[in-house]
Amino acid sequence: MIKVIQPGLFTTIQDGGRHGYRNIGIPSSGFMDQESAWAANKIVNNNKDESLFEITLTGPTLGFNGNYLISITGGDFNPLINEFPVDMYQPIKVELGDTLKLNNTKNGARCYLAISGGLNVKSIFGSKSFYNNISDSYYLKKGDKIKVSKKFKNKILKWDRLRFNINRSMKVFKGPEFDLLSTNSKNKLFKNEFTISTNNRMAYNLKENLNDEIKSIISSPVLPGSVQLTPSGKMIILHRDCQTTGGYSRILQLSISSLNHLSQIKSNEKIKFSLIN
């Protein structure tokens, strides 16, 4: 059992995602940064899509009532066990009574905490990922108690070659409505930098406008990584919890790796689009 002493800003449980239900309006959800989450699970010998904790900007304080093997990957949240620093991207043994504190991020927006065996929470539509109006919880709260599926085996893996890096270059494909843009707008997309504004698991808003006379479209399918352009010139990059359809023009589509990179970019930081030919 793991007890939530302090929940942090926005800590959720995520896994590989809820797939096969977008036709009835259910988002895929799952890890925002798949690469970091997969690494965390690999270190503790879990399946790569096993459930774990996803932590955003300010981390939680967790208490352990048993012996577990854990790993922490992604952004550096200055993790402490019983007030002593611990290494990231390494297997870590915790014991009964230990307390893990994850602080404010030093770099990156999210980190991942995997427990050997995974987390024993309800699976809904084939996934344990938290999502509002589907799962019982949307984020962890003070006093929550999370069960662990099984105790870890003694096999400890070494994973010290991995390093976390921030990548602000977003590799993109042309979206279905890309060719409706003016030549001037296309040039701006790839010459200019854009600033991240408000963002969450559903979408990232960009501060700068792309003024174009492109109109709305009939509501059409969208995916995580779709870059929408509103009639007012606002650009929105959809992410893991995004809706399944939308009426804004889909001008670009992020690559899978860039969708992971975007999840580690914070408000007021800049990105630049790079077209994949």
Asked if residue 238 is part of any domain, the answer here is yes
pLDDT of the residue at 150: 73
Query: Quick one: average pLDDT of 60-86?
Result: 96
Query: Quick one: average pLDDT of 67-84?
Result: 96
Both 89 and 211 in one domain: the answer is no
Helix H, strand E, coil C: the string for the chain is CEEEEECCCEEEEECCCCCCCHHHCCCCCCCCCHHHHHHHHHHCCCCCCCCEEEEECECCEEEECCCEEEEEEEEECCCEECCEECCCCCCEEECCCCEEECCECCEEEEEEEEECCCEECCCECCECCCCCCCCCCCCCCCCCEEEECCCCCCCCCCCCCCCCCCCCEEEEEECCCHHHCCHHHHHHHHHCCEEEEEECCCEEEECCCCCCCCCCCCCEECCCCEEEECCCCCEEEECCCCCCEECCEEEEEECHHHHHHHCCCCCCCEEEEEECC
Query: Quick one: average pLDDT of 236-251?
Result: 96
Both 143 and 190 in one domain: the answer is no
Both 73 and 143 in one domain: the answer is yes
State pLDDT tens for residues 198-235.
999 999 999 999 998 888 889 999 999 999 999 999 99
State pLDDT tens for residues 101-122.
999 999 999 999 999 999 999 9
Both 139 and 270 in one domain: the answer is no
State pLDDT tens for residues 23-53.
999 999 999 999 999 999 999 999 999 999 9
Asked if residue 159 is part of any domain, the answer here is no
Name the band, by pLDDT with cuts 50, 70 and 90, for residue 256: very high
Asked if residue 163 is part of any domain, the answer here is no
Of 96, 118, 148, the residue that ends a domain is: 148
Domain that holds residue 210: 169-275
Of 117, 148, 179, the residue that ends a domain is: 148
What is the rounded CA–CA span in Å between residue 46 and residue 96? 21
pLDDT over 80 (residue 162): no
pLDDT over 70 (residue 152): no
The count of structural domains within the chain is 2
Asked if residue 162 is part of any domain, the answer here is no
What's the pTM value of the predicted model, to 2 decimals?
A: 0.94
Name the band, by pLDDT with cuts 50, 70 and 90, for residue 137: confident
Other beta carbons within 10 angstroms of residue 98's beta carbon come to 18
pLDDT of the residue at 214: 84
Asked if residue 224 is part of any domain, the answer here is yes
The CATH number assigned to the domain holding 239 equals 2.40.100.10
Both 77 and 183 in one domain: the answer is no
Both 136 and 184 in one domain: the answer is no
pLDDT of the residue at 142: 96
Both 111 and 248 in one domain: the answer is no
pLDDT of the residue at 155: 58
Both 191 and 238 in one domain: the answer is yes
Asked if residue 156 is part of any domain, the answer here is no
pLDDT of the residue at 216: 84
Name the band, by pLDDT with cuts 50, 70 and 90, for residue 136: confident
Asked if residue 107 is part of any domain, the answer here is yes
Both 89 and 186 in one domain: the answer is no
Asked if residue 176 is part of any domain, the answer here is yes
Both 139 and 175 in one domain: the answer is no
Residue 96 token pair: 């009964």
Q: Mean pLDDT for the chain?
A: 93
Of 115, 148, 181, the residue that ends a domain is: 148
Q: Are 75 and 146 in contact (CB under 8 A)?
A: no
Both 133 and 203 in one domain: the answer is no
Hey, which of 150-154, 215-219, 249-253 has the most confident mean pLDDT?
A: 249-253
Both 134 and 17 in one domain: the answer is yes
